[in-house]
Structure 1
Amino acid sequence: MPEKIDSYRDLVVWQQAMDLAVAIYQATRNWPKDELYGLTSQVRRAATSVPVNIAEGYARENRGSYQQFLRIAQGSLKELETHLLISQRVGIASSETVKPLMTHSESVGKLLRLLIRRLSSG
């Protein structure tokens, strides 16, 4: 039986998105300083946008708004993945760094899709 959801913090998708954001901050800590206001900032912003939009949507207490914020979170995930791939292509990040982050992002994306479907059918 699923646990009771009293807060957005109880959502596994939010928890996983928070873990991803923390992993992104750790991974980008050693990126070149001249990228701080470029790709580093973009990657971090996209990563933090995911749990923020999940939480904001939950707070709306309206199913349609909630789903829209979850879709925005999905968009931020795809933005994050694209920034990570760019960072790999330009030599800022190694494939060993990018691959687990991409896997984590894809996992969060699956959870988001499941939650959107559940809200659509319920």
Structure 2
Amino acid sequence: MEPSRKRITSHRQLVVWKKAFEVSMQVFEFSKAFPREECYSLTSQIRRSSRSVTTSITEAWRKRRYEPAFVSKLNDAETEAAETQDWIQYAVRCGYLDRKHGVALFREYESILKTIVGMITHADSWVFPLSPRDARKLRREEP
């Protein structure tokens, strides 16, 4: 490991997780203005899928000792990010989200998708068995 690189010990340190979390909060804020009749359709679906990106990344991180499980959860994150892009397109097309913000959100998810696909492609560099010391350290983390 390079001396200048800090070792990542939590999913919350992952740039992709941070970005997905912030973008999902933007989606939440924009969705507050969606019409009431979309409450159980577009609004709930776009909120669910945008939040599922981070939760799937979190699950992948916690399963990184087992490559198939790690990749499976990253595939879930990839699917949810792509689904969120679809919901963004619906929101723009229905006039609930202006095109400028829709394009910006869509591009953010495109960047997130590229990172997730890169993690899947190079899963072997992310997966490793935890030492007992590292496992104890992770259990002591606070949210």
What range is the shorter-chain TM-score in? over 0.9
SS at match of 1:71: helix
Match of 1:93 among 69, 93, 97: 97
Match of 1:13 among 16, 40, 48: 16
1:121: Cα distance to partner?
A: 6.1
Q: Which has the higher helix share?
A: 1
1:97: Cα distance to partner?
A: 2.1
CA distance, structure 2, for counterparts of residue 66 and residue 19 of structure 1: 23
CA distance, structure 2, for counterparts of residue 81 and residue 6 of structure 1: 30
SS at match of 2:5: coil
Match of 2:85 among 75, 81, 91: 81
Where do 5+ consecutive residues of structure 2 fail to align? 127-143
Aligned residue pair count:
122
Q: How does 1:1-122 map to 2 (within 5 A)?
A: 1-60=4-63, 61-120=65-124
Q: Which has the larger radius of gyration?
A: 2
4+ long deviations beyond 4 Å: none
**TM-score of the two chains, using structure 1 as the length reference:** 0.92
**TM-score of the two chains, using structure 2 as the length reference:** 0.79
Alpha-carbon RMSD across the aligned residues, in angstroms, is 1.4
Identity of aligned residues (%): 26
CA distance, structure 2, for counterparts of residue 112 and residue 2 of structure 1: 20
